[in-house]
Structure 1
Amino acid sequence: MNPPEKKPRKILQKQVIMRRVIIGLIPCILASIYFFGWRSAAVIAVSVTAAFLTEFLFLLKRRQPVSEAVFVSAIIYALILPPTVPWHVVVIGIVFAILFGKMVFGGFGRNIFNPAMVGRAFCYVSFPVAMTASWSPAASFPWGALGQWSTAISPDVITSASPMGLMKQGLIEAPRLLDLLVGNLAGSMGVTSVIAILIGGIYLLVSRTANWKIVAMTVGTYALANLVADLAGMPNAPGALVAVMGGGFLFGAFFMATDPVSAPKTLGAQLIYGAIIASSTFVIRNFSVFNGGLMFSILLANMFAPILDYAFKQAKKKKNENLARAEETVR
């Protein structure tokens, strides 16, 4: 008797929702190439390749397919890196993200944290100079950096704190709203253009890929906190518009806070989750030594998401039980 033939391994697990997210990321990808050169495209390609191979090799023995979500994590991770990030940081960060942000929890659908954020946080603490010390200026109109490999003008590029850090210290004025809208300023390579983020973000909302309640609560709470700080005369307060439009906050609200796996599923939990991201980002950006804050805030909120879901589900279950008892009493 011949042993049963093994079915050929399916390489890729198709996921429609993840394809929509990739489509939503296209404007940000194009903006990163336009403002920072074709090196941005190469960084994305390296990140995607390393992420795919990592998950493929991890699942090889199990003969399980690679989820299309790995492409989303790799692209988002690449877009939130500095334009001049060294190649070894790109690879090490995304490998760490896939292994310890996703696969150790059991793979797609079981991870607690957003993998892209895990990878960036690891690089932030492991390679602080590469992640925070050098910022490449964005190219100007009309042709941008389409004819360039990179906008870096020297090996050291611009050695300083990040633009958000300089503004926080009062060393530079808040950028013009037009520059924030278009993206013509230094920053992580895929998050400087508000127009590109809004095009992709609105597509996610219209296609019901992203949860609008999480986006609204995150952006609304953060805008309100900064408005109050500005009216109260807090030193170097950027104001609501600049705070929301700068530092990649909108990118995080649309593409990372709404991750369908690591975000909560119940309405009450989603609202609290958005408030946690907004409030902790406000505190970290304004009162800590860190210039960003969104990265840590999303990871913190991810940690609370399962607890919040459980609490609201239990509350609903208890309410239904009480209603059932009340109906039996009336009968």
Structure 2
Amino acid sequence: MSNLLKVSLSPHIHGKETTQKLMFGVVIALIPALLTSIFFFGYGALIVTATSVASCILFEYLIVKFIIKKPLTINDGSALVTGLLLAFNLPSNIPVFIIVIGSFVSVAVAKMTFGGLGNNPFNPALVGRVFMLISFPVQMTSWPVPAGLNTGYTDAVTGATPLAIVKEGLKNGESLSQLMTQIPTPAQMFFGQMGGSMGEIAAMALLLGFIWLLYKKIITWHIPVSILATIVAFTGILWLVNPEKYADPLFHVLAGGILLGAIYMATDYVTSPMNPKAMLIYGCGIGMLTVIIRVWGAYPEGVSFAILIMNAFVPLLNTYIKPKRFGEEVKNG
């Protein structure tokens, strides 16, 4: 009779979702943005994406197979997602060897060093991106201007991003009204007609992916909405105080990588909080840090740094901000 009873550790109820299913759901959400980047940047977008994805998968395979010597994990799709997200943070004309180095840092240093998926404290793709930005600043800030499907890989015409134009112009004493004549309109930025990384120029496509992720319940609204709301509120106050010095909220949302970061990078399961209240605090922190870096920092863009900084606070948020336990007694008075 005693053999009929099995005692095991929780969880005792398992859902239908698997890591592989969730990861490939994210891949599907990224397809519109990938197609948009190919449409605007041509062959370069394909080369960068293929190199990044292949390198991330290869490095994870080699490390698991020959160093860690555990069952292979490349089938779970996490290396594929890391490769895609890393590519989306890069210019479409960046040399292949730099992509390979960034992929190695993303997978080997930021992920596998800590034990693989589920153990890494920082978003792997962002660690790789920041490493590349610091190590190869010229190549990482030479942004191709969208020129269509026939755009070459090495001969693409480069130009400054809207954020860089505003940052440099304000530093040189120009007014914002003068600078706005040099950058694309909000409609052009929304549909991708501006310089930037492969993921920055696809606002409409990224939002389509966001709808898909919400529909499939792969992510919740808390982190993306809190990031965007904080940025809109913070930049809105600054804009009202001095519209000749601070850009309006719509510009900050459409220019740069805030949509990519808010929807796809900050919502990473491993490096983001586990409950809604902590998610809102986490998102607000990312939004505030992004604006602080953009407006007063040395770099025109601050999303990557903001997410990595808030990644470090996730264990603290998970420890001290917890949902009420089922059956927990509430003290009155």
**Could you tell me whether the CA contact under 8 Å between 2:48 and 2:93 is conserved in 1?**
no
Which residues of 2 match residues 198-237 of structure 1 at below 5 A?
A: 198-233=207-242, 235-237=244-246
Partner in structure 1 of residue 163 of structure 2: 164
Could you tell me how far apart the structure 2 residues matched to 1:309 and 1:131 are?
A: 34
Distance 1:215 1:290 in 2: 22
Aligned counterpart, 2:116: 107
Name the counterpart of 1:49.
54
Alpha-carbon distance between aligned partners in 2 of 1:36 and 1:236, rounded to the nearest angstrom: 32
Instruction: Verify: 1:189 aligned to 2:198, yes or no.
Output: yes
Residues 298 and 72 (structure 1), Cα distance of their counterparts in 2 relative to 1, 3 Å cut: same
Question: What runs of 5+ residues in structure 1 fail to find an aligned partner?
Answer: 1-12, 140-144
TM-fit CA distance, 1:235: 4.5
Q: Distance in 2 between matches of 1:186 and 1:152?
A: 15
> 1:28–1:191: 8 Å Cα contact kept in structure 2?
no
Structure 2 SS opposite 1:169: helix
How far apart are 1:86 and its partner, in Å?
1.2
Q: Deviations over 1:83-124 (max 9, x none)?
A: 221111111001111011111111111111111100001101
The structure-2 alpha-carbon separation of the partners of 1:238 and 1:152, relative to structure 1 and needing over 3 Å to count, comes to farther
Amino acid at match of 1:158: T
1:31-88 Cα distance to aligned partner (Å, 9 max, x none)? 1111011221111111111111111111112233323111001001001101221111
Asked whether 1:291 is paired with 2:300, we answer yes
How many Å separate the matches in 2 of 1:265 and 1:249?
22
Task: State the superposition RMSD in angstroms.
Answer: 2.1
1:48-197 aligned at under 5 Å gives the runs 48-60=53-65, 61-66=69-74, 67-132=76-141, 134-139=142-147, 145-150=148-153, 152-153=155-156, 157-158=157-158, 162-170=161-169, 172-173=179-180, 174-197=183-206
Give me the whole-angstrom Cα distance separating, in 1, the residues matched to 2:245 and 2:94. 29
- For structure 2, the residue ranges without an aligned partner over 5 or more in a row are 1-17
Match of 1:269 in 2: 278
Inter-partner Cα distance in structure 1 for 2:103 and 2:90 = 11
Tell me which stretches of 4 or more aligned residues in structure 1 moved more than 6 Å. Answer: none
Within 1, Cα distance between the matches of 2:312 and 2:54? Answer: 28
Give the Cα–Cα distance (whole angstroms) in 2 for the partners of residues 158 and 251 of structure 1.
21
Q: Distance in 2 between matches of 1:231 and 1:29?
A: 36
1:226 deviates by 0.9
- Are residues 194 and 87 of structure 1, via their aligned partners in 2, closer, same or farther at CA, if it must alter by over 3 Å? same
Counterpart residue type for residue 64 of structure 1: L
TM-score (norm 1): 0.86
- Between the two proteins, the alignment pairs up a number of residues equal to 301
**Candidates 2, 20, 23, aligned match of 1:15:** 20
TM-score between both structures, scaled by the size of structure 2: 0.85
Is the contact between residue 294 and residue 302 of structure 2 (CA under 8 Å) also seen in structure 1? yes
How far does residue 316 in structure 1 lie from its aligned partner after superposition?
4.5
Identical counterparts, % of pairs: 36
Displacement of 1:322:
5.5
CA separation in 2, counterparts of 1:20 and 1:264?
A: 20
The answer to whether the 8 A contact 1:191-1:197 is kept is: no
- Superposed CA offset, 1:279-310 (max 9, x none): 00000000011111000000011110111010
AA of the residue aligned to 2:164: G
User: 1:162–1:291: 8 Å Cα contact kept in structure 2?
Assistant: no
Judge conservation of contact 2:64–2:70 (CA < 8 Å) in 1.
Answer: yes
